[in-house]
Chains A and B, each alone.
Chain A
């Protein structure tokens, strides 16, 4: 039998609920799947939407599940995921049936909670098609729930789906820094797509977010040197910093040589003033 992660949620719930809210949470029979499902749906009728904000931003709620974080969730979302955490003790078939029913009838915020819960549910391969489908969602909140601060894609997505997730985050102008495991899952195919994305954008007279270059660095060849030269000529300082970071991390001589023409940034990078995390809209 699988053990539930529910205990990790409990102190946090206690901290962010009123007495009446906690009383309602406690009143739901946790061994009754139908009661849990109804509570999942009804939660907004009993709980406020208090935003969960914890001091330690990067602390993992569940020690053996890095990247699963609940910061900036509201109380309803947290409680819903907590309710779902009790379902893991069901048989595989039962669990699948319950979760599928919730998905099939879900409204917007329920979908967000369901996608947030995927990494605490067993049988990840069962949820994979839904998760990759969520990346196709045009509902921003649903997309965010799977793509940002969620360890499920990092662990489960095949390369093609992973790359789609990253590309769509960039297309939607959302911060890629919030994708869990971003730099560990860099790959050549993603870099190729991004290089053509840069070319398309530049042809259309548009910019690209400077932080995306970190995904291309190891895969840039001599043939792409001209792209970095163009980047150095940008009117935006963040592009010039990105170009400098690319050159400082590249193993190619020509790239390293290019950086020596920009001693100011070369020095600042050496002094630790700039790294990828300081670029882009990650404030």
Chain B
């Protein structure tokens, strides 16, 4: 059952409705061959990306562009789920199949677990989900509770947001907050004050999808401010550069939030390349595209930097544990530019 007809009509990505904007495109028209030199030697960490919606081509391009690790927040899948089993299968895929798929490309895959705000409005199902959620939050590689927070800012959204903040406290996990598209500023303030009311340390909370209107208050109160670089939305990477120029690198991180909508899994490397060409110092770029995300989510105790920081096994045929068992069941294709498919 669909609870809200409007969802079906607009079918936006979870981040922003692309129809409303008339902004000019946000990405410079640089081909990979042109911008790869700018980001030579950089490693990137995307703390918000929905890989279940992406293809192996994306994984391949991401690995090639220097993305070594990602966090996949649990979210809505584009249409409402009708039963608990769909949630279970989705959560299992975040710690199972998707994690494996990612490993084939040498990308370390983490996730955050939570009941998203849209589906918090289906109370019957939400109750059931809250019962099984504790089974998942303690799992290996679960680096936070997320993405949770407000969408329409209903009472039910608030109820399950609060319950999940308590779960985060109990499990000693950071919280990844999704801020609403509509009435963003008020929704963001409300999310933060509720988190503080529940006694969460703001340095354990990552407030996501910020813009110029929300960033100051988020940083002033001691939270992490994440920015989503998403094509055709109000936060493009040119303006991201200005934000970093104005606010510095402390507690700021960039993500792609790439999902099933028109989005860009290479948002971070592209923004980094833009920052390089705009003269932002390398250590600042490293902080907002890599270090700060690790610093924030490593509080979960679930991030081993050595898992992705050492030389990355980019060869999918690499042997593991000293025996000849291949790393994966599938062999990724290599040369996409070749006419021959062997």
Chain A residues within 8 Å of B, Cβ to Cβ:
38, 41-42, 44-45, 51, 72, 76, 104-111, 137-144, 148, 172-175, 178, 281-283
Contacts and interface: CB of A to CB of B under 8 A. Distances in A.
A174 B140 contact: no
B324 A281 contact: yes
Give me the 5 closest cross-chain CB pairs, A-B, nearest first.
Answer: A107-B95, A44-B140, A140-B329, A281-B324, A139-B100
B329 A139 contact: yes
Nearest to B89: A104
Given A51-B321, A104-B88, 7 more contacts: A45-B138, A105-B91, A108-B99, A108-B100, A138-B329, A139-B329, A175-B323
A41 B135 contact: yes
Contact of B326 (A51, A104, A142, A174): A174
Nearest to A73: B321
10 contacts: A38-B138, A72-B323, A76-B140, A105-B136, A107-B141, A108-B95, A108-B99, A140-B329, A173-B326, A174-B324
Contact of A107 (B140, B321, B322, B329): B140
Contacts of A178: 323, 325
Contacts of A174: 324-326
A155 B329 CA distance: 25
B96 A107 contact: yes
Interface residues of B, number: 27
Contacts of B141: 107
Nearest to A281: B324
B139 A107 contact: yes
B327 A140 contact: yes
Nearest to B328: A140
Contacts of A282: 324
A172 B326 contact: yes
A47 B106 CA distance: 23
A107 B139 CA distance: 7
A140 B100 contact: yes
Contacts of B96: 106-108, 111, 139
Nearest to A205: B342
Interface string B87-114: 0100110011101100000000000000
Nearest to A53: B322
Residue of B132, B325, B327, B330 with highest tally of chain A CB at under 10 A? B325
Nearest to A101: B135
A175 B329 contact: no
B222 interface: no
Contacts of A104: 88, 92
B301 interface: yes
Nearest to B322: A72
A6 B302 CA distance: 28
Interface in B62-94: 88, 91-92
A111 B99 CA distance: 13
Contacts of B301: 45
A108 B301 CA distance: 18
Contacts of B136: 105
Contacts of A108: 95-96, 99-100
B329 A172 contact: yes
Nearest to A283: B324
Given A41-B139, A51-B321, A106 B92 contact: yes
